[in-house]
């Protein structure tokens, strides 16, 4: 079994239908958006009904950032009491377990894979304006120094993907479901709110079920 379906290459592609969270409190704290592939999840059929097993990395989550070469994060990368990466992985497994799916090893030919990753986008830029010369007060000519405006954007999103392995064609794997959770940078109580958001993502996706 190749490892390609456990990468985060496909994390930036968007498709399907988005759902808004039902919890007003959660929406104010962390926005949770889920999307699914309508070609395999519809009123006429649901690909999840054909799945039995899944694989998920037990000790790492992916990491994509424009200011770091790291490709994954381990628990020690987070300085959060009670842990962060491992509780998130465990909760995702728990949600899938109650939907009728069984976690297995990668070599056991799982039906689908679960990717969890953090996407960080840091942007910094400045604009400089030179007002120029013009007549000053009392007949003197004044000069204004350049006006510098600095803009910084630092946005971090957690992405959970379900990748169809069972129906793969060669190296082509279909991403059938995604959840986007963010912004992780601005939230108070990051661990608790992220765990709530993971539950929310599965809660607003009832079609993820064996039955």
Look up the CATH number of the domain holding residue 116: 3.30.160.670
Q: Is residue 136 part of a domain?
A: no
Q: Is residue 103 part of a domain?
A: yes
Q: How many domains does the chain have?
A: 1
Q: How far apart are CA 96 and CA 100, in angstroms?
A: 7
Residue 99 CB neighbours (<10 A): 17
Q: Is residue 126 part of a domain?
A: no
- pLDDT at residue 163 is higher than 90: yes
Q: Is residue 19 part of a domain?
A: yes
E strand or H helix at 195: helix 190-203
Q: How far apart are CA 144 and CA 162, in angstroms?
A: 57
Pick the more confident residue, 192 or 120: 192
- pLDDT at residue 151 is higher than 60: yes
Q: Is residue 11 part of a domain?
A: yes
Q: What percent of the chain lies above the pLDDT cut of 90?
A: 55
What predicted TM-score, i.e. pTM, was given to this entire model?
A: 0.76
Q: Is residue 142 part of a domain?
A: no
Q: What percent of the chain lies above the pLDDT cut of 70?
A: 72
Q: How far apart are CA 187 and CA 70, in angstroms?
A: 23
Record the tokens describing residue 116, joined without a space.
């969890």
Pick the more confident residue, 145 or 199: 199
Q: Is residue 149 part of a domain?
A: no
pLDDT at 9: 39
Mean residue pLDDT across the chain: 81
What domain range includes position 51?
Answer: 4-120+154-203
State whether residue 70 is helix, strand or coil.
coil
The mean pLDDT of 74-86, rounded to a whole number, is 94
pLDDT at 199: 97
Please report which confidence band the pLDDT of residue 134 belongs to, taking 50, 70 and 90 as the band edges: low
Cβ contact 176:164 at 8 Å: yes
């Amino acid at each position: 079994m190749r490892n390609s379906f456990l990468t985060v290459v496909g994390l930036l592609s968007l498709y399907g239908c988005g759902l808004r969270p039902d919890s007003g409190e959660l929406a104010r704290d962390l926005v949770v958006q889920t999307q699914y592939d309508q070609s395999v999840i519809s009123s006429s059929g649901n690909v999840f009904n054909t799945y039995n097993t899944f694989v998920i990395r037990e000790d790492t989550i992916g990491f994509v950032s424009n200011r770091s070469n790291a490709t994954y994060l381990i628990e020690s990368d987070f300085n959060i009491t009670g842990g962060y990466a491992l509780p998130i992985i465990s909760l995702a497994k728990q949600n899938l377990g109650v939907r009728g799916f069984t976690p297995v090893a990668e070599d056991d030919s799982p039906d689908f894979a679960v990717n969890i990753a953090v996407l960080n986008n840091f942007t910094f830029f400045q604009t400089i304006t030179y007002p120029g010369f013009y007549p000053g007060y009392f007949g003197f000519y004044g000069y204004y120094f350049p006006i510098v405006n600095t803009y910084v954007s630092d946005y971090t999103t957690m992405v959970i993907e379900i990748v169809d392995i069972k129906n793969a064609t060669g190296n082509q794997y279909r991403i059938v479901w995604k959840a986007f959770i963010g912004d992780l940078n601005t939230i108070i109580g990051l661990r608790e709110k992220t765990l709530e958001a993971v539950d929310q993502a599965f809660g607003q996706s009832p079609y993820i079920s064996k039955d």
